[in-house]
Chain A
Amino acid sequence: MNDVAIIGVGLHPFGRFDGKSAIDMGADAVQAALDDAGLQWKDMQFAVGGSWEIANPDAIVGTLGLTGLPFTNVFNACATAASATQVCADSIRVGRFDIGIAIGMDKHPRGAFTVDPTLVGMPRWYGENGQYLTTQFFGMKANKYLHDHGISQRTLAKVAAKNYRNGALNPNAFRRKPIDEDTILDSPVLNYSLTHYMFCAPDEGAAAVVMCRADMAHRFTRTPVYVRAVEIRTRRYGAYEVNTTFAPVDEDASPTVYASRAAFEAAGIAPEEVDVVQLQDTDAGAEVIHMAEAGFCADGDQEKLIAEGHTEIGGRLPVNTDGGLIANGEPIGASGLRQVHELVRQLRGEAGDRQISGTPRVGFAQLYGAPGTAAATILTT
Chain B
Amino acid sequence: MPRALAPEISTWPDPDPQLLGSRCRDCEAVAFPAHRRCPRCSSRNVAETTLPRRGTLVSWTTQGFLPGPPYAGRETAATFTPFGVGLVQLDDVVRIEGRLTENDPSKLHFGMEVELTMVPIAVDDDGTETVTFAFRAV
A127 near B71 (CB under 8 angstroms)? yes
**For A194, what are the chain B residues with a Cβ–Cβ distance below 8 Å?**
61
How many residues of chain B are within 8 Å of chain A by beta carbon?
Answer: 44
Q: With both chains docked as a complex, state the minimum distance between the C-beta of B106 and any C-beta of chain A, in angstroms.
A: 10
**For A128, what are the chain B residues with a Cβ–Cβ distance below 8 Å?**
5-6, 70-72, 121, 132
- A192 in contact with B61 given A130-B73, A131-B99 (CB within 8 Å): yes
B64 near A191 (CB under 8 angstroms)? yes
Q: With both chains docked as a complex, state the minimum distance between the C-beta of A128 and any C-beta of chain B, in angstroms.
A: 4
How many residues of chain A are within 8 Å of chain B by beta carbon?
Answer: 38
- A114 in contact with B83 given A143-B60, A192-B61 (CB within 8 Å): no
Count A-B contacts at CB 8 Å: 127
B60 near A140 (CB under 8 angstroms)? yes
Provide the bound-state CA to CA distance between A140 and B96, in Å: 13
B68 near A111 (CB under 8 angstroms)? yes
B99 near A130 (CB under 8 angstroms)? yes
Provide the bound-state CA to CA distance between A253 and B89, in Å: 18
In the assembled complex, B62 has its CB within 8 A of some CB on chain A:
yes
A192-B105, A247-B94, A248-B30 given; 14 more Cβ-contact pairs under 8 Å: A116-B70, A117-B70, A124-B6, A128-B121, A129-B6, A130-B83, A140-B87, A144-B87, A147-B59, A192-B61, A245-B97, A246-B21, A249-B92, A249-B95
Closest A-B pairs by Cβ, 5 of them:
A114-B68, A139-B61, A125-B6, A144-B59, A128-B72
Q: Which residues of B approach A to under 8 Å, CB–CB?
A: 5-6, 9, 21, 29-33, 39-40, 58-65, 67-73, 82-83, 85-87, 89, 92-99, 105, 110, 121, 132
Show 22 A/B contacts (Cβ-Cβ < 8 Å), sorted by A. Answer: A111-B68, A112-B68, A128-B71, A128-B121, A128-B132, A130-B73, A130-B121, A131-B85, A133-B67, A143-B60, A144-B110, A147-B59, A191-B61, A191-B62, A192-B60, A192-B105, A193-B61, A237-B29, A246-B21, A246-B97, A248-B94, A248-B95
